[in-house]
């Protein structure tokens, strides 16, 4: 009961008394622009951001209804004076002043010449040569053996990686011991068959290079009309096969002297001439019958005086049998004079002597000439017998003329 006599505070009256308390007058903060002006002189962007932070802080603490807060950024006029009315152009100009110049803008302001750069042309070319790939497909490279494995040989050809030669590409024929044929340090030539891979290694071949050289040699023999000796190593229904300079040759039955019993020719040696040589299709066709003709061509040469018989008369000249081969005496090569008819000079079966002026063993052509035996144009029409009798002496003078013409070419 004692506690009930204690006077209790009137809680309902406290808010009314607080409301009757006098209100403090509004305080207007003074913002100094002096510091901001100095900051703007140092950096317009930093001062603008700093002033924005101050305005935001001020807006959170004091925001009387009768006070207008200036939120526009402060700019500088031409006389470095503060202006409250700032335009977007002024703001952009202020930002541009504070931005560091980019390399692109610097290049626009000041163009640099080539002489300003450190450029060494010799070093640049040397770098290109170092990075240039060694060995393109089809090229011949020289190198030395650096390692021999069971599957192939590694050869240093000067690239950033050695060239690899598979065992199957180590040469023609059967190789019994690869290590004996390619000792370490052996110098050799190889043909690049595949360009370098990602590791810089190229594939090389001794076999491909040997085949290329063989085709080149065979083509030269064909052009010269040579007769070669081959050994027969097999046969089929069409003919027999042989080996020539490491190449597989074929002799049709129709081109054999004994085509009926061609199976018996295996392991025998025959003299043959060339019918077709084609490295692209790898066709090498030979002929035993044509070898006899080729052998005859090997006995002939340009400027040689030869004797034969007229075998046929054509509008364009005479065909002369020279033994196995025939020669053509063209009407333009008979005399320097005019001819009404070829039959005025020679008839079929007549013997004559003429100089060889053209030889084409590949096509089997022999060109003859009698006009070089004349002392004057048309002499053969009157003194044919005399010319034939003095042919050897007259041929010497003509041969000197032919030799001079060949030397001048």
Rounded to an integer, the average pLDDT of 8-14 is 47
pLDDT at 77: 45
Q: For every residue of 138-185, which 3-state class applies, written as one string?
A: CCEEEEEEEEECCCEEEEECCCCCCEEEEHHHCCCCCCCCHHHHCCCC
pLDDT at 145: 93
- Contact status, residue 33 vs residue 74, Cβ threshold 8 Å: yes
Rounded distance between C-alpha atoms, residue 236 and residue 395, angstroms: 51
Token output for 63:
């925001």
- Contact status, residue 40 vs residue 74, Cβ threshold 8 Å: yes
CB-CB neighbours of 181 under 10 Å: 15
Rounded distance between C-alpha atoms, residue 128 and residue 122, angstroms: 10
pLDDT at 296: 87
pLDDT at 108: 45
Token output for 396:
């010497």
Q: For every residue of 384-397, which 3-state class applies, written as one string?
A: HHHHHHCHHHHHHH
Q: Residue holding tokens 């006070």? A: 67
Rounded to an integer, the average pLDDT of 172-199 is 85
Rounded to an integer, the average pLDDT of 248-255 is 94
256 three-state secondary structure: coil
More confident residue, 36 or 154: 154
Tens of pLDDT, residues 128-161: 555 555 667 888 888 999 999 988 999 998 877 7
- Contact status, residue 214 vs residue 154, Cβ threshold 8 Å: no
User: 300-408: which CATH topology?
Assistant: OB fold (Dihydrolipoamide Acetyltransferase, E2P) (2.40.50)
Token output for 25:
């007058």
Label the pairing between strands 351-360 and 365-369. Answer: antiparallel
Going through 297-377 in order, the beta strands assigned E by DSSP cover 305-314, 317-321, 326-330, 351-360, 365-369
Write out the DSSP string of 188-241. Answer: EEEEEEE---TTS--EEEHHHHHHHHHHHHHHHHHHHT--EEEEEEEE-SSEEE
- Contact status, residue 178 vs residue 167, Cβ threshold 8 Å: yes
Residues 6+ apart with CB under 8 A from 131: none
Quick check: pTM over 0.75? Answer: no
Rounded distance between C-alpha atoms, residue 391 and residue 395, angstroms: 6
| Confidence at 65, pLDDT banded by 50, 70, 90 | very low
Q: Burial, 90: exposed, middle or buried (Cβ in 10 Å; 0-12, 13-18, 19+)?
A: middle
Q: Which residues pair with 191 in a beta bridge?
A: 140, 205
Rounded distance between C-alpha atoms, residue 320 and residue 368, angstroms: 9
Q: Do domains 140-210 and 225-294 have the same CATH topology?
A: yes
Q: Residue holding tokens 């400027």? A: 303
Residue 185 exposure: Cα atoms within 13 Å on the Cβ side: 0
Tell me, rounded to whole angstroms, the distance of Cα 331 from its chain centroid: 51
The answer, yes or no, to whether residue 164 has pLDDT greater than 70, is: yes
pLDDT at 28: 47
| Confidence at 304, pLDDT banded by 50, 70, 90 | very high
Rounded distance between C-alpha atoms, residue 154 and residue 204, angstroms: 9
pLDDT at 88: 59
CATH 2.40.50.140 is held by the domain 140-210: yes
Q: Compute the chain's Rg from CA coordinates.
A: 53
Homologous superfamily (CATH) of 225-294 is: Nucleic acid-binding proteins (2.40.50.140)
Spatial CA neighbour of 265 closest among 313, 233, 223, 312: 233
21 three-state secondary structure: coil
| Confidence at 398, pLDDT banded by 50, 70, 90 | confident
Token output for 46:
């930093």
DSSP state of 323: S
Domain ranges of the chain: 34-97, 140-210, 225-294, 300-408
Please state, rounded to an integer, the average pLDDT across all residues of the chain: 76
């Amino acid at each position: 009961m004692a506690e009930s006599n204690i006077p209790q505070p009137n809680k309902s009256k406290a808010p009314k008394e607080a409301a009757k308390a006098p209100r403090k007058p509004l305080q207007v903060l003074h913002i100094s622009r002096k510091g901001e002006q100095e900051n703007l002189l140092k950096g317009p962007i930093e001062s603008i951001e700093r002033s924005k932070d101050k305005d935001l802080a001020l807006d959170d603490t004091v925001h009387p209804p009768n006070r207008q807060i200036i939120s526009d950024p402060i700019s500088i006029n031409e006389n470095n004076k503060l202006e409250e009315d700032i335009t977007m152009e002024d703001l952009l100009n202020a930002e541009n002043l504070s931005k560091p110049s980019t390399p692109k803008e610097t290049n626009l302001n000041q163009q640099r010449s080539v002489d300003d750069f450190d450029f060494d042309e010799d070093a640049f070319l040397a770098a290109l040569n170092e990075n240039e790939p060694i060995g393109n497909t089809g090229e011949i490279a020289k190198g030395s053996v650096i390692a021999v494995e069971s599957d192939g040989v590694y050869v240093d050809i000067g690239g950033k990686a050695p060239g690899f030669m598979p065992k199957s590409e180590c040469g023609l024929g059967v190789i019994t011991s690869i290590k004996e044929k390619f000792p370490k340090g052996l110098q050799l030539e190889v043909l690049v068959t595949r360009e370098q891979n990602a590791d810089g290694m190229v594939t090389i071949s001794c076999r491909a290079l040997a085949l290329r050289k063989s085709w080149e040699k065979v083509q030269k023999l064909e052009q010269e009309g040579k007769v070669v000796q081959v050994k027969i190593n097999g046969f089929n229904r069409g003919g027999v096969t042989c080996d020539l300079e490491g190449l597989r040759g074929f002799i049709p039955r129709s081109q054999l002297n004994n085509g009926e019993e061609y199976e018996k020719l295996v392991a025998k040696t025959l003299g043959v001439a060339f019918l077709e040589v084609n490295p692209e299709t790898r066709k090498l066709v030979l002929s035993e019958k044509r070898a006899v003709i080729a052998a005859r061509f090997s006995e002939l040469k340009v400027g040689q005086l030869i004797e034969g018989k007229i075998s046929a008369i054509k509008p364009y000249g005479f065909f002369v049998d020279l033994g196995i081969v025939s020669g053509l005496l063209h009407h333009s090569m008979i005399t320097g004079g005019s001819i009404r008819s070829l039959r005025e000079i020679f008839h079929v079966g007549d013997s004559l002597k003429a100089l060889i002026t053209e030889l084409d063993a590949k096509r089997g052509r022999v060109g003859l000439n009698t006009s070089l035996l004349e002392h004057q144009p048309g002499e053969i029409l009157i003194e044919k017998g005399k010319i034939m009798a003095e042919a050897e002496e007259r041929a010497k003078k003509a041969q000197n003329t032919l030799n001079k013409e060949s030397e001048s070419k």
